[in-house]
């Protein structure tokens, strides 16, 4: 149940309502907005008559929350959540581009990519050091050495870092390097991992599970938030369907659907979504058009020699094209993309 206080409600009235709710057996979470306070009461029974609360002094309205999540819900926080990472604001007017290789492979590869994507206006460098691979015989990532290369390359080119955390045992190490911690599709419902990420002071980039509904995906964000970390970014990366002509089916309808249910920023990863290099640019355009707050794009200096996800990784010139095209689409919508930083 959500209790919305009057704009002019004073502290004493708010406290009195909280006390009353507690005495009725509810756990109360308070959200103090610019204009008014909102109280979330957890533990409402179906037979509870909400008028018992609606009549209290200072209460404007009371409504039941039908969603099973609260912190992630639009009815709990009305305004879009903005997340600041250094000089980058995620969830604001700027369409934020995270780009880089699927995996960090060596110094040269990650430095070349960082330099290149930064020059084009990407602000966050991606690269996996701990990789979730379908086959145990595939390249598993460089681990700690890869994390260090990623951080060094990002620092050398004024970028922030996003990288995937696969297990609780690596949490401290990943958090010491990453500005944003990625939870991959396969771990979207790794609840122990989500709970631990609730305790860290890094935004969590939560990819949608391969067969997760929108509600399950938001519930996973709720895990992180309920454990204390309000900074979750959702990322649509394609779901499994019956259609074999693309690696996954990129569910772009999820963007406006999630945005009506949640205040959290929503990104799109067309690279994993479609899995085919020459289909990434059109889907990136569509993602921006449909209202995504940002994109995650795989780029590699030599995609055909990549140790993971080569077929979906963009060549550098394709990335140039992508940035040009999304700047146009963003402009039509009154949004921006960080400027190019091509040195003379
Ligand atoms: C990745 O970003 O390289 C990755 C493994 O993504 P996903 O979890 O979406 O498959
Ligand atoms: Mn990948």
Average pLDDT over residues 187-216: 98
Two tokens, residue 279: 């289909």
Mean pLDDT of the chain: 96
Q: Judging by DSSP bridges, how do beta strands 2-5 and 37-42 pair with one another?
A: antiparallel
- According to the model, what pLDDT value does residue 63 have? 85
Give the distance (Å) from ligand 2 centre to CA of residue 46. 45
Confidence of residue 67 (pLDDT cuts 50, 70, 90): confident
pLDDT of the residue at 344: 55
Task: Report the separation in Å between the CA atom of 30 and the middle of ligand 1, taken as the mean of its atom positions.
Answer: 35
Query: CA-to-CA distance for 111 and 134, rounded, in angstroms?
Result: 27
26 Cα–ligand 1 center, Å: 40
Determine what percent of the chain is predicted with pLDDT higher than 70. 100
Whether the per-residue pLDDT at 181 is higher than 60: the answer is yes
Nearest CA to ligand 1 atom 8: 184
Nearest ligand 1 atom, CA 207? 9
Ligand 1 interacting residues, C-beta cut-off 6 A: 102, 128, 132, 184-186, 207, 237, 272
Instruction: Name the closest ligand to CA 313.
Output: 2
Quick one: average pLDDT of 99-109?
A: 98
Per-residue model confidence as pLDDT tens digits over 6-62: 999 999 999 999 999 999 999 999 988 778 899 999 887 778 899 999 999 999 989
pLDDT of residue 342: 80
Q: Which helix (H) or strand (E) holds 257?
A: helix 254-261
pTM of the model: 0.88
CA distance 125 to 161: 5
């Amino acid at each position: 149940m959500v209790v919305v206080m009057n704009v002019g409600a004073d502290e004493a009235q708010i406290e009195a309502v909280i006390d009353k709710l507690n005495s009725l057996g509810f756990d109360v979470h308070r959200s103090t907005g610019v204009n008014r306070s909102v109280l979330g009461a957890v533990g409402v029974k179906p037979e509870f008559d909400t008028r018992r609360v609606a009549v209290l002094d200072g209460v404007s309205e009371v409504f039941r929350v039908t969603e099973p999540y609260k912190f992630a819900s639009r009815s709990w926080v009305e305004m879009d959540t903005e997340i600041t990472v250094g000089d980058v604001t995620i969830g604001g007017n700027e369409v934020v581009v995270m780009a880089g290789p699927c995996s960090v492979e060596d110094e040269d590869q990650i430095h070349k990519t960082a330099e290149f994507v930064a020059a084009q206006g990407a602000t966050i460098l991606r690269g996996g050091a701990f990789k979730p691979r379908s086959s145990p015989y595939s390249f598993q990532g460089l681990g700690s050495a890869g994390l260090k290369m990623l951080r060094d390359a990002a620092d050398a080119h004024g970028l922030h870092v996003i990288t995937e955390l696969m297990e609780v045992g690596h949490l401290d190490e990943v958090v010491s390097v990453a500005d944003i911690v990625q939870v991959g599709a396969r771990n979207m419902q790794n609840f122990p991992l989500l709970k631990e990420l609730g305790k860290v002071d890094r935004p969590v980039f939560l990819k949608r599970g391969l067969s997760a509904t929108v509600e399950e995906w938001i519930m996973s964000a709720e895990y992180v938030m309920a454990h204390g970390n309000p900074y979750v970014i959702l990322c649509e990366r394609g779901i499994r369907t019956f259609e074999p002509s693309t690696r996954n089916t990129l569910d772009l309808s999820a963007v406006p659907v999630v945005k009506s249910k949640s205040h959290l920023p929503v990104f799109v990863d067309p690279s994993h979504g479609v899995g085919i290099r020459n289909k990434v640019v059109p889907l990136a355009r569509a993602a921006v058009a449909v209202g995504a707050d940002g994109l995650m794009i795989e780029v590699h200096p030599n995609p055909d020699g990549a140790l993971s996800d080569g077929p979906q990784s963009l060549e550098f010139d394709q990335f140039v094209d992508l940035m040009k095209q999304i700047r146009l689409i963003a402009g039509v919508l009154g949004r921006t993309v960080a400027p190019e930083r091509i040195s003379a």
